[in-house]
Amino acid sequence: MAGRPLSPTLAAVVEELELDQPVVVTADDLSGIVARHGLGTSVKVVAARLRAAGWLLATPQRGVWEFAPGAHAGAIGHGDPTLPLRSALAADPDLPAGLALGTAAWALGFADRVPGRLDIALPAGIRVPAGLRKETSVTTFATKTGFVPRKQVPCHRPEAVLAHLATTPSAPRSWGAVLEWLPELAAELDHDALTAELDGRPRAVRVRAGYLLSGLRPDLAGPLATEASTVVRFGPRTGELRRHAATWQVMDYLLPTDPRTWEPA
């Protein structure tokens, strides 16, 4: 490999990596390879030499690297936009993090492009890894229906994305962008899964969910209308009031247009 020299020690490590073709490699992975081949070089030195030779590339997560296989003909990454989350999960497989909001919409196939910064959700009280703080937009939200695997990382289900929007309306960086994919996502919502995702959440969340779905999925919004008994705010009160939806008792300070006028996909 021109420009990526291999000593006998490095060759043994790279050979195994080439067979496995991992996207990310942890220090523990390297430790296992070094042990299996009976190499006398420390993992720290092996990692440093592989990095210097262009076989391992830095990730936002300490102790985790991206593998640049020989097929890339140089120190070139995979171009995987989920790399920050993939690296964090490689370092801590039990981290309850997943793609959320617009990034989940992209991974689920409802949005055409991935956002400039990944949207990642973590439950309250979970420490955010340093790599995620640097490279992604992290919001606090815990799904009740679990994750689905998309782009080889955990991802919120459509019902969790909707519940997240209703829980924290100010979480999206652009509601204009949300409206590009929300109709298709709403079309895929499952009644039982949405009920499970909203069950036990505050009444205001269920009301906001119904308000968001009032035009897109009136079949799902209808049962939620019974929750509308006292005023619920949609968005921060510091903004200008855009509309008062009397049926829902919603004071909307945020949405660019009235969701009751949104047409189903």
| Domains contained in the chain, CATH given | 8-72 (3.90.56.20), 83-261 (no CATH)
For position 7, what pLDDT does the model report? Answer: 84
pLDDT in tens, 123-169: 999 999 988 988 899 999 999 999 999 999 999 999 999 999 999 99
Which residue type is seen at 244?
H
Indicate the pTM of the whole model: 0.88
At 160-203, the pLDDT tens digits run: 999 999 999 999 999 999 999 999 999 999 999 999 999 999 99
Nearest C-alpha neighbor of 87 from the set 57, 110, 64, 120: 64
Bridge partner list, 244 = 251
CA 11/CA 249 separation, integer angstroms:
67
pLDDT in tens, 64-104: 999 998 877 566 666 789 999 999 999 999 999 999 999 99
Q: Please name which of 61, 63, 54, 68 lies closest in space to residue 21, comparing C-alpha atoms.
A: 68
Beta bridge partners of 162: none
- The alpha carbon of residue 191 and the mean position of all alpha carbons in its chain are separated, in whole angstroms, by 23
Instruction: For residue 137, give the 3-state DSSP assignment.
Output: strand
